[in-house]
Structure 1
Amino acid sequence: MLNIFSKSIAAKMSLALLLLLLALSASFFVMDKRLKTIETAFIEISRISNYAVSILRINKDIVEMQRDISVYGNSGSKSVFNKIEDNFQSIKKRLGNINFNQNEANSQVYLDSMSELLSRYDENLAVLTKRYEARAHLTYQVLPSIYTNAIAELETLKSKSINTEDKLSIAELTNLWHSMHHDAYQFLSKKDYSKRAKVNTTLRLLNQKLQVLQGPAITLDKMSQFTANYQQQFSKSIQANRHYLSLVNVVMAGDAIEFSTLSNQLRELSLSRLKQIKSEAEKTVSNSERILKLLAIGVVIYIVAFAIAFHLQISHAIKRLTVSFKYFLSGDLSAKIYDLNRKDEIGVLANAAERFRVLSKDLADAKQSAERTAKVKSEFLANMSHEIRTPMNGVLGMARQLSRTPLSAEQAKMLNIIKSSGASLLVIINDILDLSKIEAAKVELESGPIELSSLLNELTHLFSQQAENKGIELFITTTPELTDFIFLGDETRLKQVLINLLGNAIKFTHRGSVLLNVIIEEVVNDEFKVTFSVSDTGIGIANEQLDSLFDAFSQADASITRRFGGTGLGLTISSKLLHLMNSSLKVESEPDKGSMFYFELNVTRTFITPAISESLLEESSEKSVDFSHVTALVVEDNDINQVVIESMLAEFNIKSISLADDGEQAIAQCEIGAFDIIFMDMQMPVLGGPEATLKIRKLPAYKHTPIVALTANVLAADKQRCFEAGMNDFIGKPIKFENLKRVLVKWCSQHHQ
């Protein structure tokens, strides 16, 4: 077990972290218990507070209900009684929802007593209506009925009396009945207890008056019955009123007061319980704070110890290894490596550093070897380009010269095959060189104004005849309102991509059409998205072959190479060029239905018109230029190329043409003769073109004489080397008649004389 910890930093760290985790887990367990205790206390406080508030509200509602009972006693309103009933049922339900824990027996006693009071209250409510109705019946129906009948009878008696004295006696009796009934109403309804004695006194007085009153015996008997009946019903009303008021003001009011007393006692008990819980919670919090402080101190001590151990055992060792690696990366492989004998990961890293030092020495040697190989490869590529282009210049040049001689139809046919094969071979050479330059990151994009309409017109001119020869239609379209669109970019490379795509589309289409469509969308201000798409109705590409379509030296089907030719580099070069333009070439295709290649460029619009090509200006004036006065020196080591160049120059009516086989001969001829233009090959025996140019420029008469590089070395580095040597222009081999014409117009027209 100890051996594992000695060999592994991870094991050491894991053990340290495990100990820390155990300590934190134990602390967490203790704190969790404490927090649960505090949580329980808060829950208890909330519960006790809730039921205390509920009981206070119930007590308040009982007081409100007692007040409503008084209102009901005065009005007898059914709606008031319904409100009393609803309030009571709500009180009963809420009191029933209050529960106490087993350890709250004292509180439960109060709650039981309050429930018992509510039960009595419920019973009293059931009796209340009956007692009110009995009281109301006597007070508001029976007594008023007797009173009304008695008054009516007196009015009848009064109407029959002819004696004024009798009428006065009857009127007096009527007044007594009015006064008695009013006093009875005040006593029974308004609780004016002084009126009871007046009612009894009036009743006695009525009896006395009736005994002395003169009138029909029947009427006097009725009046006596009314008086006796009223006295009897009044007594019953007193009893009913006493029973009702006793229920309301004594029994029910007493229960309400008792409920309030129990409520206050329960509230006091709850407050006492809350104080106890608060005290226990404060004690728990205090203990928790103490534990947290001790834990914090312990964790700080542990972390400090851990940091010291980490620094001594790991950080310091890694720092020393880092210093060693810094020396190694700077090229100093002699720096000392520590901790080689450690058994843990630091020891592994130290031994890896030692191995890195050994490998670095090997890599340094390998790098030098790779650099030499790369240089050899570059030289080989340039030499191969030169060696292939030099005979190609002879082949194509002599084929051109031969085409200018009388030929039979069969000979002309064979000559066309030679020229076509040579042109195809030249395309292959150019593709290979382009791909090499891209992969070596030697391609740098230019940024200049590109006039879209001019670009599309040029593409139309290039491919219209080729499409017509195959019997297919060529369409080139763009957004109509933006035909004069000018944007910044590398026109040469963009044109190269579009030529590749259009050339492929026409090559693989036997019938139908080829369409180049340009869609221009404004993004913001002068920023635009330009989408180029080339679609055809050709042979199409299978889905499983799309993934390898842009691979170098690849075509979708091996048989296509045999049927259509080509290196398979066109799409690869186009894809890589678009990648340099921050775009990507995409394809959609279906076998036998055609393909669509498209890409998007984010460009900036400009209103600067591109400069008119110098070659176009020169072509417009070629016919008026006379080259018969020109004396030319051709420095070329290849005899065939000498014949080709001399024949081309003769076509321009240049009669004075001198030849030199190498640079030394060229210098010698310059020292004794005068030439208007010098065509200088790059690679020659004895003395090469750049070296010869440097020496010729030192001759006083040749400070400004045009010297044109005439070479098969077409790489950018070769061009730069020519210009640095003092050459003025550059023509690549195989030499095209148009390029030679351009140079002569540029450097040998009258304004250059």
Structure 2
Amino acid sequence: MLHLVSRSIAAKMTFAFALVFIVLSISYFVMERRLGTIENSMGSITDLSSHAIGILRINKDIVEMQRDISVFGSSGSDAVFAKIEENFQSIQRRLKFIDENNDGLSEQLYIDSMSELVVRYGNNLNVLVKRYNIKSALMSDVLPGIYLNAITDLDRLAAGTADLHSKLIILQRINTWHSLHQSAQLFLTKKDYSKRQDVMHALKQLDRFDLPTAAEQNALIDLNIQSAKTYKNTFNKSIQANRNYLSLVNVVMAGDAIEFSSLANTLREQSLQRLNEIKKYGEKTIVKTERVLQLLGIGIIFYVIILTMFFHFHIAHAIKRLTKSFQCFLNGDLSEPINDLSRQDELGVLAQAANRFRVLSKDLISSKQAAEHTSKVKSEFLANMSHEIRTPMNGILGMTRQLSNTSLTDKQLRMLEIIQSSGSGLLVIINDILDLSKIDAEKIELENKPINLNKLLDEMHHLFSEQVEEKNVKLLVSSNAGKENTVFLGDETRLKQVLMNLLGNAVKFTEKGSVILDVTVNVMEKGELKLLFNVSDTGIGIDDRHIESLFEAFSQADTSITRRFGGTGLGLAITSKLLNIMQAPLKVDSKLGKGSRFYFELATKAEVIDIETLHAVHEKKVKQALDLSHLNVLVVEDNQINQIVIEALLKEFNITTISIAINGQHAIELCEMSAFDMILMDMQMPVLDGPGATVEIRKIHSYVNTPIIALTANVLERDKQQCFDAGMNDFLGKPLDYECLKSILLKWSPMPG
């Protein structure tokens, strides 16, 4: 066991944390028991608090109900009695809940007594309604009925009497009845006890009725005297009914309420006493728990301190030393010593790995230096070879162009075409190698300018129409946009390069049948377009085994194809990589002997272009192209052949005022003596190179804005950037192309005048 712990950090950590786990488990067990006790106490406190609150609410409801009963005695309102019943039901529910959740015997006695009081109170509520109805009927219905009948009889008696004295006696009796009834109502409803004497006095007056009348009116007199006696009896009954009602409310029910409140207070005091006992017990438990936790906490703190010191000195410090060694290795200092190589645990293994890493790093640095040296030599070789090849190629292609403008026999013309074709083929290979190098170095930057789809397709058809005619193959170029002017954003040069590579391969490998370029335009939301380019042919096709390696540089399907059709194997590799940069991966479907289909989908945006404006600009440029004789051009070129080629090309544009400088210093001297409209500047020259000369020329006040065009065989991206950094306006690579030179001249030549 000890041997295992000494050989593994994981075992050490497991052992240490196991001890921590054991201590924490013991702490948890102790805490669980203590917290269980506290939880039970808290539960008891909660129950008691709930009971006390419930009792207080019941007591409050009893008081409120007693107050509502007083209101009901005055108003007799059904809404008030409904509220009384609602409070009573609430009292029953709360008392039932307390009874169901009570577990104390002493409290149960009080709760039972309270339950009996609530039942009795409920029974009294039923009696209360009956007594109120009796009282209300006597006071509101019977007494007013007797009073109204007596008044009616007296009115009839007065109507039948003609004697004025008799009428006054009857009227006096009517007033007595009014006074009687008013006093009776005030006594019964308002408890105005002084009115009772008034009632009794009025009843005595009504006992006698001395009125000289005819025999037929005696019956009404007797009836009125009888009504007074009946009123007296009913008044006494009303007094008794009122007393019965008030006795029930103020004595019986109020006594029950007082008794209930007394029981509730006693029960609440017992609950508070129990709460106090539970509180004391809980406090003792908490004090004991705190002591246990303090002891455990102190023990854990000491243990953690010891554990921390162990890990710090035994593990963290060793890791820090190894980290320092690795940091030095990453910073290139491989001389830093490696500690703990003799340890048997994981840190020892890590130290041995660091030692191995140092050995491998030394080997890697040596390999990296060798690779960097190789890459530098490769880049310098590529740049030098590009310059050295392009310089004579400029002379060959330039002089063949000039030679084509002379009188030649058919045989000479045929030989001249072979020279031009061979030179152009060699130039394509050179450009492909440079493009592949730039793509691999991630130095390709795409433009985002308007492209006219119809114009692009027309150019593709024009470029390959002669080749397909020679091979008797059909070339079909189409688009679902038809004649609609579709303009989109993209890099026109690179897109043309892609389509030319695909169409060139399709034409090359198709002996019969057709080559088709089809574009499907899908208009999306917010001006977005998706263009599906399809290039299909009925050529030799590709075996499924060779499709995976089809886009590899310097690769073709097999060596027999290379011998039969030629080619470097760079075209599809460059095309695929360019389309990947455009985020439009190239895909292929092919069957051996039946043909191939290459396609890609380009996501772009539509561009709204004013066609009339484009035509106007084009016509303006054409007019400019017809007359460039006003230009005074300085050509800075050290190679005599290139001087001849450039001068001849410029003369094709009617430019006759041409000065030649053989190096950068010579160019500066000529600029100080003369004024030139445009400067064509070579890059690599003796004495002073092109960028250096440009910097000095820009210092001359009259040449701050003069167009300076780089004209060089150095066409790598870094060469272009060097020219632009020096202050040149544009860039032309050698060998010179007539159309490119024309475009540059039209772009930068000042207007005559």
What TM bracket, shorter-length normalisation? 0.5 to 0.7
| 1:188 Cα deviation from its structure 2 partner | 3.3
CA 357–312 in structure 1, closer or farther in 2 if over 3 Å, else same: same
Within a 5 Å distance, the mapping from 1:695-714 to structure 2 comes to: none
Amino acid at match of 1:248: V
Matched, 1:572 2:570: no
Q: Deviations over 1:539-590 (max 9, x none)?
A: 4999x999876543457999997997644433433555677xx754434777
Asked if structure 1 preserves the Cα contact closer than 8 Å seen for 2:334 and 2:358, the reply is: yes
| 1:120 Cα deviation from its structure 2 partner | 1.3
3-state DSSP of counterpart to 1:598: strand
Matched, 1:4 2:4: yes
| 1:342 Cα deviation from its structure 2 partner | 1.4
Asked if structure 1 preserves the Cα contact closer than 8 Å seen for 2:502 and 2:535, the reply is: no
Of the three residues 489, 502, 505, the one matched with 1:504 is 502
For 1:406 and 1:623, locate their aligned partners in 2 and report how far apart those are by CA, in whole Å: 35
- Where structure 1 has 5 or more consecutive residues not aligned to the other structure, the ranges are 523-528, 604-608, 635-644, 653-674, 679-692, 698-708, 721-729, 746-753
Within a 5 Å distance, the mapping from 1:254-403 to structure 2 comes to: 254-287=255-288, 289-291=290-292, 293-325=294-326, 336-360=337-361, 362-363=363-364, 366=367
For 2:715 and 2:198, locate their aligned partners in 1 and report how far apart those are by CA, in whole Å: 145
Indicate the residue corresponding to 2:698 in structure 1: none
Asked if structure 2 preserves the Cα contact closer than 8 Å seen for 1:139 and 1:188, the reply is: yes
CA 617–214 in structure 1, closer or farther in 2 if over 3 Å, else same: closer
What is the TM-score with the length of structure 2 in the denominator? 0.63
| 1:7 Cα deviation from its structure 2 partner | 1.0
Asked if structure 2 preserves the Cα contact closer than 8 Å seen for 1:477 and 1:517, the reply is: no
Q: Deviations over 1:272-307 (max 9, x none)?
A: 444444445555555555555545444443333222
Matched, 1:595 2:596: no
CA 502–226 in structure 1, closer or farther in 2 if over 3 Å, else same: same
3-state DSSP of counterpart to 2:253: helix
Q: Deviations over 1:379-404 (max 9, x none)?
A: 99799989999999999999999999
3-state DSSP of counterpart to 2:553: coil
Asked if structure 2 preserves the Cα contact closer than 8 Å seen for 1:482 and 1:520, the reply is: no
For 2:165 and 2:630, locate their aligned partners in 1 and report how far apart those are by CA, in whole Å: 165
Asked if structure 2 preserves the Cα contact closer than 8 Å seen for 1:464 and 1:474, the reply is: no
3-state DSSP of counterpart to 1:264: helix
Within a 5 Å distance, the mapping from 1:57-76 to structure 2 comes to: 57-76=57-76
For 1:267 and 1:292, locate their aligned partners in 2 and report how far apart those are by CA, in whole Å: 36
Indicate the residue corresponding to 1:495 in structure 2: 493
For 1:253 and 1:379, locate their aligned partners in 2 and report how far apart those are by CA, in whole Å: 117
3-state DSSP of counterpart to 1:508: helix
For 1:374 and 1:308, locate their aligned partners in 2 and report how far apart those are by CA, in whole Å: 52
CA 276–554 in structure 1, closer or farther in 2 if over 3 Å, else same: farther
For 2:587 and 2:254, locate their aligned partners in 1 and report how far apart those are by CA, in whole Å: 96
Amino acid at match of 2:93: K
- Where structure 2 has 5 or more consecutive residues not aligned to the other structure, the ranges are 469-474, 508-513, 591-595, 608-616, 650-659, 664-684, 690-710, 722-730, 746-753
Amino acid at match of 2:322: L
| 1:347 Cα deviation from its structure 2 partner | 1.5
Matched, 1:552 2:553: yes
| 1:8 Cα deviation from its structure 2 partner | 0.9
Asked if structure 2 preserves the Cα contact closer than 8 Å seen for 1:501 and 1:597, the reply is: no
Indicate the residue corresponding to 2:696 in structure 1: none
Indicate the residue corresponding to 1:251 in structure 2: 252
For 1:676 and 1:534, locate their aligned partners in 2 and report how far apart those are by CA, in whole Å: 50
Asked if structure 2 preserves the Cα contact closer than 8 Å seen for 1:578 and 1:584, the reply is: yes
3-state DSSP of counterpart to 2:344: coil
Q: Deviations over 1:224-270 (max 9, x none)?
A: 64455444444433333332222122112222222333333333334
Q: Which has the higher mean CA deviation after the structures are superposed, 331-340 or 258-267?
A: 331-340
For 1:433 and 1:356, locate their aligned partners in 2 and report how far apart those are by CA, in whole Å: 38
Indicate the residue corresponding to 1:657 in structure 2: none
Indicate the residue corresponding to 2:462 in structure 1: 464
Q: Which has the higher mean CA deviation after the structures are superposed, 496-505 or 172-181?
A: 172-181
Amino acid at match of 2:65: M
Q: Deviations over 1:151-189 (max 9, x none)?
A: 555666677778898777767766665555544444433
For 2:6 and 2:567, locate their aligned partners in 1 and report how far apart those are by CA, in whole Å: 66
Indicate the residue corresponding to 1:13 in structure 2: 13
Asked if structure 2 preserves the Cα contact closer than 8 Å seen for 1:455 and 1:495, the reply is: no
Q: Deviations over 1:498-545 (max 9, x none)?
A: 3233442465384555669999999xxxxxx99996824534999x99
Asked if structure 2 preserves the Cα contact closer than 8 Å seen for 1:474 and 1:513, the reply is: yes
Amino acid at match of 1:268: E
Q: Deviations over 1:690-749 (max 9, x none)?
A: xxx98999xxxxxxxxxxx999x99899999xxxxxxxxx9999x88979x99xx9xxxx
Amino acid at match of 2:70: S
For 2:483 and 2:279, locate their aligned partners in 1 and report how far apart those are by CA, in whole Å: 85
Indicate the residue corresponding to 2:111 in structure 1: 111
Amino acid at match of 2:304: I
| 1:202 Cα deviation from its structure 2 partner | 5.7
For 1:456 and 1:172, locate their aligned partners in 2 and report how far apart those are by CA, in whole Å: 126
Indicate the residue corresponding to 2:86 in structure 1: 86
CA 552–279 in structure 1, closer or farther in 2 if over 3 Å, else same: farther
Asked if structure 2 preserves the Cα contact closer than 8 Å seen for 1:583 and 1:600, the reply is: no
For 1:383 and 1:166, locate their aligned partners in 2 and report how far apart those are by CA, in whole Å: 157
Within a 5 Å distance, the mapping from 1:475-490 to structure 2 comes to: none
Amino acid at match of 1:343: Q
Matched, 1:241 2:242: yes
Within a 5 Å distance, the mapping from 1:26-41 to structure 2 comes to: 26-31=26-31
For 1:242 and 1:49, locate their aligned partners in 2 and report how far apart those are by CA, in whole Å: 42
For 2:256 and 2:278, locate their aligned partners in 1 and report how far apart those are by CA, in whole Å: 32
CA 6–238 in structure 1, closer or farther in 2 if over 3 Å, else same: same
Indicate the residue corresponding to 1:142 in structure 2: 142
Indicate the residue corresponding to 2:585 in structure 1: 586
For 1:37 and 1:5, locate their aligned partners in 2 and report how far apart those are by CA, in whole Å: 41
Within a 5 Å distance, the mapping from 1:554-703 to structure 2 comes to: 566-574=567-575, 576=577, 584-587=583-586, 595-598=599-602
Asked if structure 2 preserves the Cα contact closer than 8 Å seen for 1:117 and 1:259, the reply is: yes
For 1:450 and 1:237, locate their aligned partners in 2 and report how far apart those are by CA, in whole Å: 109
Q: Deviations over 1:403-437 (max 9, x none)?
A: 9964569x95x997787577546534543454346
Q: Deviations over 1:625-670 (max 9, x none)?
A: 9x9xx99989xxxxxxxxxx9x999x99xxxxxxxxxxxxxxxxxx
Amino acid at match of 1:499: Q
Amino acid at match of 1:247: L
3-state DSSP of counterpart to 2:340: coil
| 1:205 Cα deviation from its structure 2 partner | 6.3
What is the alpha-carbon root mean square deviation over aligned residues? Answer: 6.5
Amino acid at match of 2:602: Y
Asked if structure 1 preserves the Cα contact closer than 8 Å seen for 2:8 and 2:345, the reply is: yes
Q: Which has the higher mean CA deviation after the structures are superposed, 557-566 or 95-104?
A: 557-566
Within a 5 Å distance, the mapping from 1:405-444 to structure 2 comes to: 406=409, 412=414, 423-424=424-425, 427-428=428-429, 430-436=431-437, 438-439=439-440, 441=441
For 1:335 and 1:461, locate their aligned partners in 2 and report how far apart those are by CA, in whole Å: 65
CA 294–421 in structure 1, closer or farther in 2 if over 3 Å, else same: farther
Indicate the residue corresponding to 1:125 in structure 2: 125
Asked if structure 2 preserves the Cα contact closer than 8 Å seen for 1:511 and 1:538, the reply is: yes
CA 290–617 in structure 1, closer or farther in 2 if over 3 Å, else same: farther
Q: Deviations over 1:336-373 (max 9, x none)?
A: 43322211012112222333444455555655665676
For 1:382 and 1:182, locate their aligned partners in 2 and report how far apart those are by CA, in whole Å: 132
Q: Deviations over 1:453-511 (max 9, x none)?
A: 8999899768734347644448899998999x9x9xxx9xx735532334424653845
Q: Which has the higher mean CA deviation after the structures are superposed, 251-260 or 327-336?
A: 327-336
3-state DSSP of counterpart to 2:602: strand
| 1:136 Cα deviation from its structure 2 partner | 2.8
Amino acid at match of 2:302: I
